[in-house]
Amino acid sequence: MNILDSIMSANNGAAVRQLASQLGIDEAQASSALSALVPALSAGLRQNAQTPDGLSGLLDALAGGNHQRYINEPAVLGDAGTIADGNGILGHVLGSKDVSRQVAARAGAQTGLGSDVMKRMLPLVATLVMGAMSRQAATRGGSPLASASGSGGLLDMLAGALDQDRDGSALDDIAGMIGRSLGRR
Protein backbone atom coordinates (compact mmCIF):
# COMPACT_ATOMS: atom_id res chain seq x y z
CA MET A 1 0.00 0.00 0.00
CA ASN A 2 1.42 3.42 -0.85
CA ILE A 3 1.66 6.26 1.65
CA LEU A 4 -1.40 8.16 0.41
CA ASP A 5 -3.61 5.07 0.53
CA SER A 6 -2.26 4.23 3.96
CA ILE A 7 -3.20 7.67 5.31
CA MET A 8 -6.61 7.74 3.63
CA SER A 9 -7.63 4.29 4.83
CA ALA A 10 -6.19 4.34 8.36
CA ASN A 11 -8.87 3.91 11.00
CA ASN A 12 -11.61 4.15 8.36
CA GLY A 13 -10.51 7.61 7.22
CA ALA A 14 -10.16 9.16 10.69
CA ALA A 15 -7.19 11.32 9.65
CA VAL A 16 -9.13 12.73 6.69
CA ARG A 17 -12.08 13.53 8.96
CA GLN A 18 -9.79 15.16 11.54
CA LEU A 19 -8.05 17.32 8.92
CA ALA A 20 -11.39 18.39 7.47
CA SER A 21 -12.79 19.30 10.87
CA GLN A 22 -9.66 21.09 11.99
CA LEU A 23 -9.33 23.17 8.83
CA GLY A 24 -13.04 23.85 8.29
CA ILE A 25 -13.23 22.04 4.96
CA ASP A 26 -15.21 18.99 3.90
CA GLU A 27 -13.80 15.47 3.69
CA ALA A 28 -13.65 15.50 -0.12
CA GLN A 29 -11.56 18.67 0.01
CA ALA A 30 -9.29 17.14 2.66
CA SER A 31 -8.84 14.05 0.48
CA SER A 32 -8.06 16.22 -2.53
CA ALA A 33 -5.52 18.20 -0.51
CA LEU A 34 -3.86 15.01 0.71
CA SER A 35 -3.68 13.79 -2.89
CA ALA A 36 -1.91 17.01 -3.84
CA LEU A 37 0.47 17.25 -0.87
CA VAL A 38 1.56 13.66 -0.20
CA PRO A 39 3.32 13.17 -3.57
CA ALA A 40 5.34 16.36 -3.07
CA LEU A 41 6.40 15.27 0.41
CA SER A 42 7.13 11.77 -0.84
CA ALA A 43 9.34 13.23 -3.56
CA GLY A 44 11.30 15.13 -0.93
CA LEU A 45 11.64 12.03 1.22
CA ARG A 46 12.73 9.96 -1.74
CA GLN A 47 15.31 12.56 -2.75
CA ASN A 48 16.67 12.69 0.82
CA ALA A 49 16.76 8.89 1.00
CA GLN A 50 18.99 8.73 -2.07
CA THR A 51 22.00 9.83 -0.01
CA PRO A 52 23.51 7.70 2.78
CA ASP A 53 23.12 10.53 5.33
CA GLY A 54 19.57 11.23 4.23
CA LEU A 55 18.54 7.59 4.41
CA SER A 56 20.23 7.21 7.79
CA GLY A 57 18.45 10.31 9.10
CA LEU A 58 15.10 9.06 7.84
CA LEU A 59 15.60 5.63 9.38
CA ASP A 60 16.67 7.20 12.67
CA ALA A 61 13.58 9.43 12.65
CA LEU A 62 11.33 6.48 11.95
CA ALA A 63 12.98 4.40 14.68
CA GLY A 64 13.21 7.16 17.29
CA GLY A 65 10.02 9.10 16.82
CA ASN A 66 6.55 8.17 17.92
CA HIS A 67 5.14 9.04 14.51
CA GLN A 68 2.58 6.23 14.42
CA ARG A 69 0.46 8.19 16.88
CA TYR A 70 -0.54 10.58 14.11
CA ILE A 71 -2.13 7.74 12.17
CA ASN A 72 -3.38 5.76 15.16
CA GLU A 73 -4.79 8.76 17.06
CA PRO A 74 -5.59 11.53 14.54
CA ALA A 75 -7.01 13.75 17.30
CA VAL A 76 -3.38 14.60 18.18
CA LEU A 77 -3.22 16.52 14.90
CA GLY A 78 -4.93 19.32 16.84
CA ASP A 79 -2.08 19.58 19.37
CA ALA A 80 0.35 22.50 19.08
CA GLY A 81 3.26 20.06 19.35
CA THR A 82 2.08 18.32 16.20
CA ILE A 83 2.52 21.46 14.13
CA ALA A 84 6.01 21.95 15.57
CA ASP A 85 6.86 18.33 14.78
CA GLY A 86 5.44 18.73 11.27
CA ASN A 87 7.44 21.89 10.64
CA GLY A 88 10.58 20.05 11.75
CA ILE A 89 9.79 17.24 9.32
CA LEU A 90 9.20 19.77 6.54
CA GLY A 91 12.57 21.38 7.25
CA HIS A 92 14.28 18.03 6.71
CA VAL A 93 12.16 16.94 3.76
CA LEU A 94 11.76 20.14 1.77
CA GLY A 95 14.76 22.06 3.06
CA SER A 96 13.32 25.56 3.38
CA LYS A 97 10.21 27.58 4.07
CA ASP A 98 10.34 28.89 0.51
CA VAL A 99 10.01 25.36 -0.88
CA SER A 100 7.19 24.66 1.58
CA ARG A 101 5.39 27.80 0.39
CA GLN A 102 5.83 26.73 -3.24
CA VAL A 103 4.41 23.28 -2.48
CA ALA A 104 1.47 24.88 -0.67
CA ALA A 105 0.85 27.30 -3.53
CA ARG A 106 0.89 24.55 -6.16
CA ALA A 107 -1.37 22.30 -4.10
CA GLY A 108 -3.71 25.20 -3.41
CA ALA A 109 -3.99 26.00 -7.10
CA GLN A 110 -4.44 22.32 -7.97
CA THR A 111 -7.23 21.77 -5.44
CA GLY A 112 -8.84 25.21 -5.49
CA LEU A 113 -8.48 25.44 -1.71
CA GLY A 114 -5.87 28.20 -1.80
CA SER A 115 -2.36 28.35 -0.45
CA ASP A 116 -3.42 29.59 3.01
CA VAL A 117 -5.30 26.36 3.73
CA MET A 118 -2.42 24.33 2.31
CA LYS A 119 0.14 26.18 4.45
CA ARG A 120 -1.86 25.26 7.56
CA MET A 121 -2.30 21.71 6.34
CA LEU A 122 1.26 20.98 5.20
CA PRO A 123 2.86 20.35 8.63
CA LEU A 124 -0.07 18.11 9.58
CA VAL A 125 0.29 16.11 6.38
CA ALA A 126 4.04 15.81 7.01
CA THR A 127 3.31 14.17 10.36
CA LEU A 128 0.80 11.84 8.71
CA VAL A 129 3.34 10.83 6.04
CA MET A 130 5.90 9.97 8.71
CA GLY A 131 3.18 8.19 10.69
CA ALA A 132 2.18 6.09 7.70
CA MET A 133 5.80 5.22 6.94
CA SER A 134 6.47 4.36 10.57
CA ARG A 135 3.37 2.19 10.72
CA GLN A 136 4.27 0.36 7.50
CA ALA A 137 7.85 -0.13 8.70
CA ALA A 138 6.57 -1.64 11.95
CA THR A 139 4.32 -4.09 10.10
CA ARG A 140 7.31 -5.21 8.02
CA GLY A 141 9.27 -6.55 10.94
CA GLY A 142 9.29 -3.83 13.56
CA SER A 143 12.39 -2.14 12.21
CA PRO A 144 12.51 0.74 9.72
CA LEU A 145 15.80 -0.68 8.46
CA ALA A 146 14.12 -3.99 7.63
CA SER A 147 11.59 -2.12 5.55
CA ALA A 148 14.31 -0.33 3.61
CA SER A 149 15.68 -3.45 2.01
CA GLY A 150 14.20 -5.55 -0.73
CA SER A 151 10.82 -5.43 -2.33
CA GLY A 152 8.07 -3.64 -0.48
CA GLY A 153 10.67 -1.50 1.26
CA LEU A 154 10.83 2.14 2.19
CA LEU A 155 11.81 3.39 -1.26
CA ASP A 156 9.07 1.25 -2.79
CA MET A 157 6.53 2.97 -0.52
CA LEU A 158 7.75 6.34 -1.74
CA ALA A 159 7.68 5.23 -5.37
CA GLY A 160 4.07 4.13 -4.96
CA ALA A 161 3.11 7.55 -3.67
CA LEU A 162 4.78 9.18 -6.67
CA ASP A 163 2.89 7.05 -9.22
CA GLN A 164 0.03 9.52 -9.49
CA ASP A 165 -1.53 8.02 -12.60
CA ARG A 166 -1.22 4.50 -11.15
CA ASP A 167 0.38 3.11 -14.32
CA GLY A 168 2.95 1.09 -12.38
CA SER A 169 5.80 3.52 -13.03
CA ALA A 170 6.60 6.69 -11.13
CA LEU A 171 9.12 7.86 -13.75
CA ASP A 172 6.60 9.68 -15.95
CA ASP A 173 5.04 11.31 -12.89
CA ILE A 174 8.42 12.43 -11.51
CA ALA A 175 9.34 13.86 -14.93
CA GLY A 176 6.04 15.74 -14.96
CA MET A 177 6.66 17.14 -11.47
CA ILE A 178 10.12 18.28 -12.48
CA GLY A 179 8.77 19.87 -15.64
CA ARG A 180 6.05 21.70 -13.70
CA SER A 181 8.55 22.89 -11.09
CA LEU A 182 10.64 24.34 -13.90
CA GLY A 183 7.60 26.10 -15.33
CA ARG A 184 7.06 23.74 -18.27
CA ARG A 185 3.90 21.79 -18.99
Count of domains for the chain: 1
Per-residue confidence (pLDDT) for residue 6, from 0 to 100 = 87
Average pLDDT over residues 9-17: 91
Question: What is the tens place of the pLDDT at every residue in 96-148?
Answer: 888 889 999 999 999 999 889 999 999 999 999 998 888 877 766 544 444 34
Amino acid 160: pLDDT: 52
C-alpha separations of 155 from 55, 86, 105, 144 in Å: 10, 21, 26, 11
Helix (H) or strand (E) holding 117: helix 115-139
Determine the structural domain holding residue 148 and report its residue range: 3-181
**Sorting pLDDT into bands at 50, 70 and 90, what band is 159?**
low
Q: Residues 111-123: pLDDT tens digits? A: 999 889 999 999 9
